[in-house]
Amino acid sequence: MTSSPNPQTEFVNPVVVYTAASNVEAHMIVKLLSTNDIPAYAVEDQSGVSLWAMGTISQFHQPRIWVEDASAEDAAKLIRVFEEKNQMRRQPGLGDNVIAVVCEGCGKTTSFPESQNGTTQDCGHCGCFVDVGDTDFDADLETAEESGQ
C-alpha cells in the first residue's frame, strides 16, 4: 500500500449515485461499475464528516458511491439491476436449494439442503428415516401444512 492511487483526483465532476448499506455492498457496486467501464469509488461518511455535516445521522456509516457526472445515469441503471437481483436473493421462505420432506412416521416436515437430494436422512422431529427428494411433495407443502385446518 505504498503508492495506492487516489481515484478521487481523477474525477472532474463527481456525483453520488448511491448510498450503500454496507462496505461490502459498496465494494460490490464499485466493482460492478468498474467492470462496465464506469470509474467509481466509495467513500465512507466518516471521512467526509465536515463536508457532510448537514447530512442525516441515519446515514452515518453508509458509504457513498461516487461516479463521474457524465456516467451517473448509466451507473444508476446498473445499480438498479444490482438491487433487483439482491432483493430476489433476499426473498424470505424456502429457497431453491432446500427440499421439504414429509416424514411418514410423524407427518411433520423437515427441510434438507438440495445437496442431499436422493439420500436418506433422519427426520428432524422423530428420527425416522426419510427419503430426501423422493416424494411428490414440494417446497409449497410447508405453507400448506401451516394453513391447513
Contact 112, 121 (CB under 8 A): yes
Residue 103 in contact with Zn ion, rule: CB under 5 A: yes
Residue 121 in contact with Zn ion, rule: CB under 5 A: no
Query: Nearer Cβ to Zn ion, position 95 or 127?
Result: 127
Q: How far is the CB of 99 from Zn ion (least distance, A)?
A: 15
Contact 67, 15 (CB under 8 A): yes
Residue 75 in contact with Zn ion, rule: CB under 5 A: no
Candidate list 97, 126, 138, 144; residue touching Zn ion; CB under 5 A: 126
Burial (CB count within 10 angstroms: exposed 0-12, middle 13-18, buried 19+), residue 54: exposed
- Residue 105 dihedral angles phi and psi, to the nearest 5°: -80, -50
Q: How far is the CB of 108 from Zn ion (least distance, A)?
A: 6
**Can you read off the three cell numbers belonging to residue 117?**
437430494
Residue 123 in contact with Zn ion, rule: CB under 5 A: yes
Interacting residue ranges for Zn ion, rule: CB under 5 A: 103, 105-106, 123, 125-126, 128
